[in-house]
Amino acid sequence: MFDLGWTELLVIGVVALIVVGPKDLPVLFRNVGRFVGKARGMAREFSRAMSDAADEAGVSDIQKSFKTATNPMASAMDGLKDAARDLTKGIDPTKFDPDSETGKLAADRAESAKKIQAATARAAAERKAKEAAEALAAADKAEAALSAPAEPAQTPAAAPDSETKA
Which residue did the predictor score with more confidence, 46 or 91? 46
Identify the band that residue 166 occupies on the pLDDT scale cut at 50, 70 and 90.
very low
Contact 111, 127 (CB under 8 A): no
Q: Which of 55-69, 98-112, 127-141, 143-157 has the highest mean pLDDT?
A: 127-141
The predicted model gives 48-68 an average pLDDT of 81
- Is the pLDDT assigned to residue 134 strictly greater than 60? yes
Phi-psi region of 58 (alpha: psi -120 to 50; beta: other; left: phi over 0): left
- Is the pLDDT assigned to residue 46 strictly greater than 90? yes
Contact 102, 96 (CB under 8 A): yes
Mean pLDDT over each residue of the chain, to the nearest integer: 81
What is the C-alpha separation between 68 and 82, in angstroms, rounded? 15
What pLDDT, in 10s, does the model give residues 60-119?
A: 778 777 777 777 777 677 777 877 777 666 666 567 677 888 888 888 888 898 999 999
pLDDT over 70, % of the chain: 81
- The pLDDT value recorded for residue 151 is 58
What is the C-alpha separation between 88 and 107, in angstroms, rounded? 17
- Is the pLDDT assigned to residue 32 strictly greater than 70? yes
- Is the pLDDT assigned to residue 35 strictly greater than 90? yes
